[in-house]
C-alpha cells in the first residue's frame, strides 16, 4: 500500500532537530517529542539518585521537576506553550479565590472551556489537520492532560474540604485533598517533566507523597513483611520495570516506523478503494489499519510510564507472585487490549488514567444517564473534530448491545472448557470488528470521509446493535438473575441451624 504524502513542516517549537527529522522522514514535531521524552528518561534516573528525598528538600524537588517540565514544553511547542501557563494560572486563581462549594464547578468550566478554545483555534484557524490526541500534533495533548489534573484536583479539594466524610465513597475519601496547594505545589503537579508531554494523569495526593518521599512506604506498609521474612521494609527498585517498558517502546517504535505508514486509515474512505474492493477486503483493511495505529500510542504511553518509574514514581505494592508492581499510573495494558474478548475489556485497558478521570469526576457523580453523559464528556475533552463525536455516539449503543449479548448468552458457554474457548475466540473476533468500526471515524476526523466509510460498511455496526437491543431482553433477565443471586437462603420459621434439633422438632 502506498504511503501517505509526508507532512509539511508545521511546528511552533524549536527546529534544532530539523535535519534529523528530514533524514528519518519523520515530522519534526514527532522528533522533538521523542527527543524530549528520551532526555526525560535520563533526567528521571538522575532525579531519583541525586535528588532523592533523603538528600534534598521537597522544595528543591518541586523546583527541579517544574523547571525541566517548562523547558520541555517550550522546546516542543515554542510560543504556543503560553496556553499551558495561562490555563494553569487562571485555574490557580479560581482555586485560591473560589468558595469550596463551587471550586469544582468553576474549575471544570474554565479548564474545559479554555481547552476547547485552543482546540478550535488549532483545528479551524491554524488548519492543522492533525489528531488532537496525537502526542506530536501540537500542544493539545499536554493541555488535555493539564485539564484532567486541574479538574481532578478541584473535585478532590471539594470532596476533602466541602463534603462530609460519610457522603464520600471509599475511593473519594482516599484521594480527597484537605488543604489547598501552594503555588509551587500546584505548578509542580501540573508542569513536572515526568508527565508534561504525554501524561499520564495521577492523583494529587499520590504525586505529593512521591515528592515528599512517602509514596513507596505508604504502599509497603499495607503488607505484613514480617511474615515474608523481612525485618525491615524492602527498597524496591524500578530498574527491571523500566528496562521492560523501554524494550516495549523500542519494539513499538519500530512497528510504527515500518508498518503504520503503509496502512493509512484514510484509505477506508477512498472512493476508488470502496468502489473496487470487495466487502471482505474493505473489512480486512479496516482491521489492519486500525491495529497499525496502535503502536504509536503504545510507544508514547509506555515510555511515559517508564519515565515516571525511573524517577521512583508509580510503585503499587506487590502482585500475587510476590513481585513488585510498578503500574500505579500505567495508562494501558497491551496484552489485555490485543486479546480483549469484549468491547468493555478493550476500553478498560486503553488510556486507563483517562477512564479513572472520567469515572471520578463524571460517572460516579451522576445518578441518571451515566454512560451517555460520560461518553459525551470524553468527546468534548478529546476535541472538536466531528469524527470524535461519531465515535463516542456510536459507542453508546455498542456498549449497551455488548452488555446485552453477554448477559443473555455467556452463561451457556461456561459448562465446558471447549465451549469457553470457542466463545472466547468468537468474541475476540467480534471485538476486533466492533472496535475497528467504532474507532475509524475518530481517525478520519471529518464528516465526509466518515459517512463514506459508514456507507462502505453498510452501517453494519449500527444495524446489528439496534437489532440486539430490540430483540434481546436487556434489564429484565439481568435484574432477575442479580436478585436471585443476592437473595439469602431463608429457612422455615421452625427450622434451626442444628440438624439434630430440627429432627426432634419434627
Q: Please identify every residue annotated as catalytic.
A: 351, 382
Distance CA 362, CA 373 (A): 8
User: In the numeric block, which cell numbers belong to residue 187?
Assistant: 505548578
Distance CA 190, CA 183 (A): 11
User: In the numeric block, which cell numbers belong to residue 136?
Assistant: 506530536
392 touches 441 (CB < 8 A)? no
394 touches 400 (CB < 8 A)? no
Terminal C-alpha separation, the chain: 82
Q: Which of 149, 87, 83 is nearest to 122 (CA)?
A: 83
Distance CA 88, CA 475 (A): 44
CA 220 to chain centre: 26
Q: Calculate ∠ Cα 173-177-181, nearest 5°.
A: 175
Q: Which of 67, 46, 53 is nearest to 311 (CA)?
A: 46
Distance CA 458, CA 244 (A): 43
DSSP character at residue 332: B
User: In the numeric block, which cell numbers belong to residue 234?
Assistant: 524492602
Distance CA 63, CA 224 (A): 35
Amino acid at each position: 500500500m502506498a504511503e501517505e504524502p509526508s507532512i509539511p513542516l508545521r511546528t511552533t517549537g524549536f527546529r534544532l532537530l530539523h535535519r534529523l527529522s528530514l533524514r528519518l522522514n519523520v515530522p519534526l514535531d514527532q522528533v522533538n517529542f521523542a527527543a524530549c521524552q528520551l532526555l526525560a528518561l535520563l533526567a528521571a534516573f538522575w532525579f531519583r539518585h541525586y535528588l532523592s528525598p533523603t538528600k534534598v528538600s521537597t522544595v528543591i524537588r518541586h523546583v527541579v521537576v517544574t523547571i525541566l517540565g517548562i523547558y520541555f514544553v517550550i522546546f516542543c511547542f515554542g510560543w504556543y506553550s503560553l496556553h499551558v501557563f495561562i490555563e494553569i494560572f487562571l485555574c490557580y486563581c479560581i482555586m485560591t479565590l473560589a468558595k469550596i462549594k463551587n471550586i469544582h464547578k468553576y474549575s471544570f468550566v474554565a479548564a474545559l472551556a479554555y481547552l476547547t478554545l485552543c482546540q478550535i483555534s488549532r483545528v479551524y484557524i491554524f488548519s492543522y489537520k492533525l489528531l488532537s490526541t496525537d502526542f506530536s500534533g501540537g500542544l493539545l495533548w499536554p493541555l488535555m492532560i493539564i485539564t484532567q489534573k486541574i479538574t481532578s484536583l478541584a473535585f478532590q479539594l471539594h470532596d476533602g474540604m466541602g463534603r462530609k466524610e460519610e457522603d464520600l465513597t471509599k475511593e473519594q475519601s482516599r484521594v480527597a485533598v484537605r488543604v489547598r496547594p501552594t503555588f509551587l505545589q500546584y505548578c509542580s503537579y501540573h508542569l513536572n517533566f515526568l508527565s508534561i508531554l504525554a501524561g499520564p494523569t495521577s492523583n494529587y495526593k499520590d504525586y505529593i507523597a512521591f515528592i515528599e518521599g512517602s509514596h513507596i512506604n505508604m504502599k509497603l506498609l499495607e503488607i505484613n513483611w514480617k511474615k515474608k521474612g523481612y525485618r525491615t521494609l524492602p527498597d524496591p527498585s524500578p530498574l527491571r520495570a523500566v528496562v521492560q517498558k523501554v524494550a516495549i517502546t523500542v519494539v513499538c517504535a519500530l512497528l510504527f516506523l515500518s508498518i503504520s505508514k503503509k496502512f493509512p486509515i484514510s484509505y477506508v474512505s477512498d472512493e476508488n478503494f470502496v468502489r473496487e474492493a470487495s466487502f471482505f477486503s474493505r473489512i480486512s483493511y479496516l482491521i489492519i489499519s486500525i491495529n497499525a495505529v496502535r503502536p504509536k500510542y503504545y510507544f508514547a504511553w509506555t515510555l511515559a510510564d517508564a519515565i515516571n518509574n525511573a524517577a521512583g514514581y508509580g510503585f503499587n505494592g506487590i502482585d500475587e507472585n510476590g513481585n513488585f508492581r510498578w503500574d500505579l499510573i500505567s495508562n494501558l495494558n497491551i496484552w489485555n487490549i490485543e486479546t480483549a474478548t469484549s468491547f468493555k475489556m478493550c476500553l478498560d485497558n486503553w488510556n486507563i488514567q483517562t477512564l479513572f478521570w472520567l469515572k471520578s469526576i463524571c460517572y460516579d457523580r451522576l445518578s441518571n444517564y451515566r454512560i451517555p453523559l460520560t461518553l459525551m464528556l470524553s468527546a468534548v475533552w478529546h476535541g472538536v473534530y466531528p469524527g470524535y463525536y461519531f465515535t463516542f455516539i456510536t459507542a453508546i449503543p455498542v456498549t449497551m448491545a455488548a452488555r446485552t449479548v453477554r448477559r443473555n448468552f455467556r452463561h451457556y458457554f461456561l459448562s465446558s472448557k471447549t465451549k469457553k474457548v470457542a466463545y472466547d475466540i468468537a468474541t475476540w473476533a467480534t471485538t476486533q470488528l466492533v472496535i475497528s468500526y467504532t474507532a475509524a471515524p475518530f481517525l478520519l476526523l471529518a464528516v465526509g470521509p466518515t459517512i463514506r466509510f459508514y456507507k462502505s460498511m453498510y452501517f453494519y455496526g449500527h444495524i446489528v446493535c439496534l437489532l440486539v437491543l430490540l430483540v434481546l431482553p436487556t434489564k429484565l433477565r439481568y435484574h432477575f438473575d442479580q436478585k436471585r443471586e443476592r437473595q439469602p437462603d431463608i429457612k422455615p420459621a421452625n427450622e434451626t441451624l442444628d440438624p439434630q434439633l430440627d429432627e426432634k422438632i419434627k
